[in-house]
Structure 1
Amino acid sequence: MEGNALKFRGKKELLSDYLATTIEKIFDPVPVPIILIDAETRIRVINKVFADYLGFSKEELIGRKVLEIDKNSRFPYVFKAKKAEIAWKHRFENGHTAIVHRIPVLDENGEVVYGFGLVLFQDVEEFKDIIEKNKLLETELHHYKKQLKEIHGAKYSWDNIIGNSKKMLQAKYIAEKAAQTNSNVLLLGESGTGKELFAHAIHNGSGRNYSPFVKVNCAAIPSELLESELFGYDEGAFTGAKKGGKIGKFELASGGSIFLDEIGDMPMEMQAKLLRVLQEKEIERIGSNNPIKIDVRVIAATNKNLKELVEEGKFREDLYYRLNVMTIEIPPLRERYEDIGQIARLLLKKLSKQLGKYVSKISSDAMAYIKRHNWPGNVRELENVLERAINLTDSDTILPMHLPVYLTKNTKYTMDSPIRPLKYIIEDAEKEAITRCLKYTNGNKLRTAKLLGISRSSLYDKIEKYGIK
């Protein structure tokens, strides 16, 4: 074991041979896989359990980088992010799937000096077995608890709504005011604009924030099942009904909020029943004649024009006016151009963490393409584009080459557009001036820089920025 004892060195020794040997002696008897790596992600100490789990001897592992042993390791990302990952599901290169901890150890200057890893459960099935053994008996109470597990609650707050554009600030202002009331809220906006984000924030910003927040996608549930989902049913209400009946979403949301997404796709028959619920503040389960009083605030959302649906006879006018108390129109991304950069950087940080690749920058050229795009799919489309770019880049920066072709070839504004942001007009004029001057000087960059009144280094930067050949 002493042959495996490691010396951690930087500018000075961080661990003595004696201490490394001592740690190794402590690690080996522990029946849980444990590993200790240095700042370069080289394995310094690993116990026998972990080595056997990986299918190597300890001697084969000591001194090697973790990515050489397991290409799926997230330790390099953890070191860059300087944040621990606790109880993560991880699939090792040898096919094993486990629940693991990855913890960076920082010095007094905040720099990573070690990494500590521990496998909580060597197999996900082992984890599932433990959960199963601790389950309560299948009682009616347990049945309801299982139903409540489906309620994730409101995860987002006002801080998650990014943007300082005039339209976004106006939408957020109305939403914050609506949150302080018990009135119904109607969220209007294109797909991908963040209607659900607003619904979460409204609930969390209200006096109901400690009560349930229940989400229902009216377009995703078959029309014949929607009534039982919303209002529940009694035992024996129909063939196949569960023993003891089923509690509906409105009852689950008692005291809190119910988010009815895609309300424009609700069948007309259900619209009439929903209207009664909003008017009478009570519901009836299928198969029951006993009304149940409810205290629920309704937050509805749609990407459709409800006024047009009312005129076409596809949406009840009385329900529309019952819902249309506090209406919030969420602007599409193309109408809040100034927010795109901030949103892109926030998404980049989120996706980088999810994908385990430390990508923290978007080049100015790539950002220019991002800002010029029309974004018909709004934030959802932007998130997909950035995820693709992160997967393609081999550095910490997203470049134009990592963006989809449709983004770099088609821009929001063209040279023929009657109105364009001043920034693009200036950039086009600058590019044209440099190109003409280079032609005039036959490509002499020193002379070009003097004629334009800029430094040679500045000229080189602009040539690279505009892709001038």
Structure 2
Amino acid sequence: MSSMQEYVIHIDFVDCPGLGYEIFRLTELNQVDKIAMEVLPNHGMVIKFRCVSEEQAQKLAGDLTLVSGVKSIVFRDQMPYEEREHELRTILDSVSEGILAVNKKGRISHINEVSCRLLQCGKGVAGLSAAELLGASSLVLDTLRTGKSYRLKEERLQQGGKAIDLFTSTTPVRNEKGQIIGSVATIKDVKQVATMLSKVDKMRRLRSFDDIVYQSPKMRQLVGYASTVAKSSSTVLLRGESGTGKELLAAAIHTEGPRYKAPFLAVNCAALPDTLLESELFGYEEGAFTGAAKGGKKGLFEQADGGTLFLDEIGEISPSVQVRLLRVLQEGTIRRVGGVNEIEVDVRIIAATHCDLEAMICRREFREDLYYRLNVIPLTIPPLRERKEDIPLLAQYLIRKICTKLEKTVVRLTRESIGLLMNQEWPGNVRQLENTLERVINMIDATEIQPGHLRAWTDLSASKRNGGNLYWDKEGLQFELSPDGRWPHLREIVAGVEKEVIQRVLKKYPSSRLAGQVLGVSNTTILNKMKAYGIEE
């Protein structure tokens, strides 16, 4: 007697009564042994069967083509579920970490090659109890019992009398009713994680031009210029409003340049008092001042030797620091606070400011010679309101980033919400856009961000004029009531008054430091308010 052979046929049909019965009648009539059947969407059926010869299989196929409603008969190599299983195994075996899944009975349903290598077993363990391989107290079985997830938790397993140290992450698998029907574990060797963290630690500050999200012609031109500039070691001056991404561009210039292996260090010059900024930049000798560390301390110039130093808010440095910075740019040497020796440094300077340095030079607030030393290669980052075609792309990128950080399912913006975002002025630029989206994502529990969510949890509105109902004209503060007669929120009124006061003081005292003295607040407070309201010095 000939051995039985397996065949798979794919039947396409039009839906008509009694078709299924007729197909099964013919399989019985042709004396084939049915093994499996799968019904496909769009009127398709796949049958796997055994018979003694190919002639018998071909006869069945010929009989089926005569059935009313059958459109075509095609032989195929595998059942659809077998193809899906093969694809799943290929995917699981292609990832760099171990993956192991158990069903609701605690038996191993899937295991990839990495897991087999880490656990020192073969793929034949599929179908066995996970407790036999991993132990009854393993994390993947605890997740199956309790529904509790673990993230990179250390786990020690005993295998063949040898301890195996792993980092394990687990998550339960639930059905549509929320019942636990299995669990999945991803496992990494402790040494593998240590190596990975070491690489991440070295690269965590590096950014490239690929990290800059844009599609507008203005940004395309800017990134093109920056890519060319990155190849040299010349000083760069980045101009642009607060929140446009000056530090990101500076880091990308460093990463894509010849100094990428050396440090990239950044300091916000407006965030530190003069004396502290001076010691941070140039370092100090032991005993230079009360509280100075024993042995002194290297400044950022020394730490960044061979690399890049990013000086943000360069327009805020005092005249004394300007003089010392000018010397570094001219001579390539620094002198620590309290020191007498000149120390050679090789540092590329990338400076950034939102201030009008040319106007500050006219007011004798910024040294002209330092300006020319810094302004070797000027690059201006356009504000978000001048590249609104970037907003949809930026918003989706930021949403993915925020949802990952908050460990939430990624939400999407409706078309109306995108339109609302594009209709704003964004005085705080990309930083304000990111903060707005993060606030909304924190507050809602939905798969889509609707315009109502944006209006409920942010200061955005359909109008660009201070919320649509509060504005200033020649006669002072004015209110435009909404159609239903509602007044503006108190916070809008207070913000409008505060913005107007700061603008009027800055007209008479055109410096954040002077304005802060007049209003009795710190320079940092004035700067923060100016950033929030989009006020330029």
Q: Give the TM-score taking structure 1 as reference length.
A: 0.62
Match of 2:414 in 1: 363
CA gap of 1:315–1:5, structure 2 versus 1, over 3 A, is closer
2:427 to 372, 376, 379: 376
Residue 375 (structure 2) pairs with residue 271 (structure 1): no
| Residue identity matched to 2:460 | L
> Which structure 2 residues correspond to residues 87-126 of structure 1 after superposition, within 5 A?
101-102=168-169, 114-116=183-185
Task: Please say if residues 35 and 117 of structure 1, whose CA atoms lie closer than 8 Å, have aligned partners that are also in contact.
Answer: no
Residue 409 (structure 2) pairs with residue 340 (structure 1): no
Q: Give the Å deviation of 1:119.
A: 12
1:24 to 131, 151, 157: 131
Find the aligned partners of 2:167 and 2:438 in 1 and give their Cα distance: 25
Match of 1:7 in 2: 105
> Which structure 2 residues correspond to residues 81-92 of structure 1 after superposition, within 5 A?
86=152
Q: Give the Å deviation of 1:22.
A: 3.6
Find the aligned partners of 2:241 and 2:255 in 1 and give their Cα distance: 23
Task: Please say if residues 250 and 296 of structure 1, whose CA atoms lie closer than 8 Å, have aligned partners that are also in contact.
Answer: yes
* Partner secondary structure for residue 258 of structure 2: coil
Q: Give the Å deviation of 1:118.
A: 7.9
Q: Give the Å deviation of 1:100.
A: 7.3
Task: Please say if residues 144 and 182 of structure 2, whose CA atoms lie closer than 8 Å, have aligned partners that are also in contact.
Answer: no
Post-superposition Cα deviations, 1:337-381, rounded to whole Å, max 9, x if no partner, equal 111100001001111100111124111111111111111111111
* Partner secondary structure for residue 404 of structure 1: helix
* Partner secondary structure for residue 233 of structure 1: coil
Task: Please say if residues 388 and 422 of structure 2, whose CA atoms lie closer than 8 Å, have aligned partners that are also in contact.
Answer: yes
Task: Please say if residues 144 and 172 of structure 2, whose CA atoms lie closer than 8 Å, have aligned partners that are also in contact.
Answer: no
2:208 to 152, 157, 161: 157
1:175 to 226, 229, 235: 226
Find the aligned partners of 1:280 and 1:196 in 2 and give their Cα distance: 26
Find the aligned partners of 1:113 and 1:305 in 2 and give their Cα distance: 62
Find the aligned partners of 2:259 and 2:301 in 1 and give their Cα distance: 14
1:209 to 216, 241, 260: 260
Find the aligned partners of 2:153 and 2:371 in 1 and give their Cα distance: 46
Post-superposition Cα deviations, 1:113-167, rounded to whole Å, max 9, x if no partner, equal 742278999xxxxxxxxx9xxxxxxxxxxxxxxxxxx998742110011112122
Find the aligned partners of 2:153 and 2:345 in 1 and give their Cα distance: 39
Match of 1:327 in 2: 378
- Number of aligned positions between the proteins: 326
CA gap of 1:244–1:87, structure 2 versus 1, over 3 A, is farther
Task: Please say if residues 5 and 20 of structure 1, whose CA atoms lie closer than 8 Å, have aligned partners that are also in contact.
Answer: no
Residue 337 (structure 2) pairs with residue 286 (structure 1): yes
Find the aligned partners of 1:339 and 1:5 in 2 and give their Cα distance: 45
* Partner secondary structure for residue 446 of structure 2: coil
Task: Please say if residues 212 and 248 of structure 2, whose CA atoms lie closer than 8 Å, have aligned partners that are also in contact.
Answer: yes
1:351 to 373, 391, 402: 402
Task: Please say if residues 385 and 404 of structure 1, whose CA atoms lie closer than 8 Å, have aligned partners that are also in contact.
Answer: no
Higher-RCO chain (CA-CA 8 Å, sequence separation at least 6): 1
Q: Give the Å deviation of 1:291.
A: 0.7
Find the aligned partners of 2:374 and 2:313 in 1 and give their Cα distance: 13
| Residue identity matched to 1:344 | A
Match of 1:407 in 2: 460
Find the aligned partners of 2:406 and 2:222 in 1 and give their Cα distance: 32
> Which structure 2 residues correspond to residues 381-396 of structure 1 after superposition, within 5 A?
381-396=432-447
Residue 139 (structure 2) pairs with residue 35 (structure 1): yes
| Residue identity matched to 1:345 | Q
Match of 1:139 in 2: none
Task: Please say if residues 308 and 348 of structure 2, whose CA atoms lie closer than 8 Å, have aligned partners that are also in contact.
Answer: yes
> Which structure 2 residues correspond to residues 190-201 of structure 1 after superposition, within 5 A?
190-201=241-252
Post-superposition Cα deviations, 1:404-436, rounded to whole Å, max 9, x if no partner, equal 343234348999xxxxxxxxxxxxxxxxxxxxx
Match of 2:286 in 1: 235
CA gap of 1:206–1:120, structure 2 versus 1, over 3 A, is closer
Q: Give the Å deviation of 1:170.
A: 2.0
Task: Please say if residues 315 and 366 of structure 2, whose CA atoms lie closer than 8 Å, have aligned partners that are also in contact.
Answer: yes
* Partner secondary structure for residue 249 of structure 2: helix
Post-superposition Cα deviations, 1:223-265, rounded to whole Å, max 9, x if no partner, equal 1122211111222333322221111100000000000011111
1:260 to 311, 315, 330: 311
Task: Please say if residues 251 and 294 of structure 1, whose CA atoms lie closer than 8 Å, have aligned partners that are also in contact.
Answer: yes
Task: Please say if residues 233 and 248 of structure 1, whose CA atoms lie closer than 8 Å, have aligned partners that are also in contact.
Answer: yes
Task: Please say if residues 359 and 397 of structure 1, whose CA atoms lie closer than 8 Å, have aligned partners that are also in contact.
Answer: no
Find the aligned partners of 1:151 and 1:26 in 2 and give their Cα distance: 37
Find the aligned partners of 1:113 and 1:200 in 2 and give their Cα distance: 45
Unaligned runs of 5+ in 1: 37-44, 47-60, 67-72, 76-84, 89-98, 107-111, 122-130, 132-149, 416-469
Task: Please say if residues 35 and 118 of structure 1, whose CA atoms lie closer than 8 Å, have aligned partners that are also in contact.
Answer: no
Task: Please say if residues 282 and 293 of structure 1, whose CA atoms lie closer than 8 Å, have aligned partners that are also in contact.
Answer: yes
* Partner secondary structure for residue 257 of structure 2: coil
CA gap of 1:256–1:231, structure 2 versus 1, over 3 A, is same
Unaligned runs of 5+ in 2: 1-101, 112-124, 155-165, 174-180, 195-200, 469-537
Task: Please say if residues 322 and 370 of structure 2, whose CA atoms lie closer than 8 Å, have aligned partners that are also in contact.
Answer: yes
Find the aligned partners of 1:159 and 1:87 in 2 and give their Cα distance: 32
Find the aligned partners of 1:233 and 1:411 in 2 and give their Cα distance: 50
Find the aligned partners of 2:308 and 2:207 in 1 and give their Cα distance: 14
Q: Give the TM-score taking structure 2 as reference length.
A: 0.55
CA gap of 1:283–1:14, structure 2 versus 1, over 3 A, is closer
* Partner secondary structure for residue 352 of structure 2: strand
| Residue identity matched to 2:322 | Q
CA gap of 1:182–1:120, structure 2 versus 1, over 3 A, is closer
Find the aligned partners of 1:376 and 1:247 in 2 and give their Cα distance: 38
Find the aligned partners of 2:393 and 2:184 in 1 and give their Cα distance: 32
Task: Please say if residues 215 and 260 of structure 1, whose CA atoms lie closer than 8 Å, have aligned partners that are also in contact.
Answer: yes
After superposition, the CA RMSD in angstroms is 3.7
* Partner secondary structure for residue 371 of structure 2: helix
Match of 2:365 in 1: 314
- Structure label with greater radius of gyration: 2
Post-superposition Cα deviations, 1:429-460, rounded to whole Å, max 9, x if no partner, equal xxxxxxxxxxxxxxxxxxxxxxxxxxxxxxxx
